[in-house]
């Protein structure tokens, strides 16, 4: 069991880098991300983030309330080399709006708020269950596609030559840090 936990801890950087990459893309691309085979998705960070580092003994930064992703504290933490460990995201795909917390350690989902459906308003529990299952699937499919995009970028030669320098510029230009 210790080996499994050690392996999870050693690989947690993938989730932290993924969340930080999503944050970067959502800001640089104006919140509109193109998801392969799914089309455009609006994505933003809401009112809660947790930043930390696997490399240092420094404490994590938990920021909540307000525009935390654009705060001076978030900019300073990024400049110290911290990565996004957890965030509350908002997402719109077509006319459906989602809210959820994504934890980078294990890529766990928490506090998922799905769009209200017509079936819910009609009190048809069976139809509601099927529609909600479909909505959960859509949300997961979007993030699977984004994680695949991230993974391909992460293992490519462009990661060190293009993506990391662009992210470093984004971090350096963040206000308040």
Task: Pick the range with the lowest mean pLDDT from 12-16, 84-88, 90-94.
Answer: 12-16
- pLDDT over 70 (residue 1): no
Q: Is the CB of residue 58 less than 8 Å from the CB of residue 80? A: yes
**How far is 173 from 127, CA to CA, in rounded Å?**
48
Confidence of residue 177 (pLDDT cuts 50, 70, 90): low
pTM exceeds 0.85 for this model: yes
Q: Is the CB of residue 97 less than 8 Å from the CB of residue 42? A: no
- Supply the range of the domain harboring residue 161: 2-173
Task: Report the number of distinct structural domains present in the chain.
Answer: 1
Q: Beta partners for 109? A: 102
**pLDDT (average), residues 152-170:** 95
């Amino acid at each position: 069991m210790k080996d499994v936990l050690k392996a999870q801890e050693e690989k947690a950087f993938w989730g932290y880098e993924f969340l930080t990459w999503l944050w970067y893309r959502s800001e640089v691309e104006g919140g509109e991300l193109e998801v392969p085979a799914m089309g455009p998705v609006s994505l933003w960070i809401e009112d809660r983030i947790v930043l930390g580092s696997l490399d240092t003994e420094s404490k994590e930064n938990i920021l909540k309330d307000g525009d935390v992703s654009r705060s001076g504290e978030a900019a300073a933490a990024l400049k110290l080399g911290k990565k996004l460990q957890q965030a509350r995201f908002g997402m719109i795909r077509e006319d459906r709006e989602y809210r959820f917390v994504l934890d980078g350690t294990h890529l766990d989902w928490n506090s998922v708020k799905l769009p209200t459906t017509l079936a819910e308003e009609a009190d048809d529990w069976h139809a509601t269950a099927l529609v909600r299952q479909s909505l959960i699937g859509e949300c997961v499919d979007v993030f699977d596609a984004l994680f695949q995009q991230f993974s391909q970028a992460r293992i490519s030669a462009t990661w060190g030559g293009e993506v990391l320098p662009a992210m470093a510029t984004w971090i350096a230009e963040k206000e308040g840090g």
